Amino acid sequence: MFMSKLDDIRRRRKEAHAKLLAAKSRVYEAFIEMERAAFTNGALTKKQKELIAVGISVAKDCESCMQWHIEQAAKDGATEREVLEAVEVGIEMAGGPGTVSARFALEVMESVFKG
Which tens digits make up the pLDDT trace of 13-65?
Answer: 999 999 999 999 999 999 999 999 999 999 999 999 999 999 999 999 999 99
Distance of CA 22 to the CA centre of its chain: 24
From the CB of residue 110, how many other CB atoms can be counted at a distance below 10 Å? 12
Q: Which CATH superfamily is domain 2-113 in?
A: AhpD-like (1.20.1290.10)
Query: Looking at the predicted structure, is the pLDDT value of residue 2 above 90?
Result: no
pTM: 0.90
Provide the sign of the torsion angle of the four alpha carbons 106, 104, 14, 114, taken in this order.
Answer: positive
Domain ranges (residues) in the chain: 2-113
- Between CA 4 and CA 1 the distance in angstroms is 5
